[in-house]
Amino acid sequence: MTSKTKTLIKDFKDHLGFSHRERQAQVQACRQLWPEACDRSIRTADQRCEKTFLFQLPWDMEQTQEPVSFSDEIQWDFLFHGDQEFIFQMNRHRYWICLGQAYALTGDEKYAECFVTQLMDWISRVPYGDDKQKTTWRTLEAGLRGDYWIRAMAFFTDSSKVTENVWQTFFEALRVHGEYLYNNPKLGFSRKSNWGVMEYCGLYAIGKVLQNEEFSSRAAKRLCETAVIQVMEDGMQWEQSGMYHNEVLMSYLEVMRLADIYGETVFDHGYQQIVRKMALATMNSQNPAGKQPMMGDSDDTDVRDLVTWAAWSLRDETLKRGGFPVMDFEMIWLYGQEPFQAYKQMTEGEEPELLTVLADSGQIFYRSDWTDNGDWIHFVNGPVGGGHGHYDMLHVDLCLEGEEILTDSGRYTYMDVPLRYQLKAAQAHNVPVIGEKEYGDSVDSWTLSALPAPLGMKAVKRGEFAYFEGSHFGYG
């Protein structure tokens, strides 16, 4: 083993590892507070040990309902039912974090062995190549792997399964990922797309672990650029999808976490305020069940864990009011007992306003109260937002006494099939239409033939009543 590898191992353990005592405290808290989440992580880990792939973690961007099992070698570029999204999700490796959590929860070395076996198998059998840039080596997946591999490895730092050879191979693979992300030629696309934020988050993590200042500095610079370019004044990410808004927010928060661990500041006060505006938009848009509206290409996902993360990262009492009273299952693994106790002691700010107007993204939210059985309405009349946006101007979501009455259908699929177009169309939303006529059309799964302009909206509240109005040029 080279002296450089020894230095990197020690640095990794010092910054990202937890002592045995700390791990046991995390395990005790998880077993006591989140038994269902513990079971989910162990179940996911067991599936991976059996080489079965089913993606049902809360923040899996491409969830699946049908398991895929491999009797021999894992086929990392397996095309399931003709849907490339399966390949993408399979090669993000978020599930290896579950192997780490299961290892901590049970002490069973089979999870460490599975992690090492699959990591080494993937590295040896899925090397970078230009021909893989649309399957296993898209820049988005490379960025996510940079973050997720590091989070997963942090659970196994003291396992005998992680040999010197494994460490060297791990660091070298991270270097390949880092070079790929550092030299990414699609700078214009990455600056404006949610991809870029996730790519640069991964590059920043890789840079810190490899002690590569060029990697981490470029990532920090690009992340500041994307924050200015992508986040509207009202705090929403411009692509008009709650899910991708929240994925972007999550990446900024992860970079803030890593920067704090390594004793540096990536975002000054101004950029932190942008992150805070994003978190407030997430908090104020959640329905009574704490879930994001399924606007554009979004899934039915609880966002209170993300609001909790933002509240701690920013030490913000207002955000704590919209999150959980204690750190959630994922956060305690990332932060440990001391921050867990400190967050619990944080006071909550005053209850947020009942009426929220996000003028730039064209959204209005109004609720009767902030309980889980309150009434809630969401009115949409903003720009389409590009590939992830739907023809949803004048759409309405409605919850009464906590029950969803009117809802958006979300994305469901990205495949270029008739259902994709049906779900993006105005007819699939709670909007006024003229007969069967659509006010816009899609060229393909991602490209719109036109971007009908909204004419604005207005919200007025008088006493217990609220009035919304909006109009658009769609039928002009």
Give this prediction's pTM.
0.96
Torsion from C-alpha of 149, 154, 156, 158, nearest 10 degrees: 140
Q: Any idea what DSSP says for residue 392?
A: -
Provide the pLDDT for residue 449: 81
Type of residue numbered 339 = P
Q: Once rounded to an integer, what is the mean pLDDT over residues 96-114? A: 98
User: Given this model, what pLDDT does residue 441 score?
Assistant: 83
The pLDDT confidence band at residue 288, using thresholds 50, 70 and 90, is very high
Structure tokens at 304: 């209170």
Q: How confident is the model at residue 2 (pLDDT cuts 50, 70, 90)?
A: confident
For residue 476, pLDDT beyond 80: no
C-alpha 361/C-alpha 323 separation (Å) is 23
Cross-strand pairs, 363: 358, 380
Q: What is the pLDDT of residue 239?
A: 95
Q: How far is CA 453 from the centre of its chain?
A: 29
Q: Give the tens place of pLDDT for each residue, 14-31.
A: 999 999 999 999 999 999
Query: If pLDDT is split at 50, 70 and 90, which confidence band does 109 have?
Result: very high
Mean pLDDT to the nearest integer, 322-336: 96
- C-beta neighbour count of 167 within 10 angstroms: 18
Looking only at Cα atoms, what is the longest distance across the chain? Answer: 72
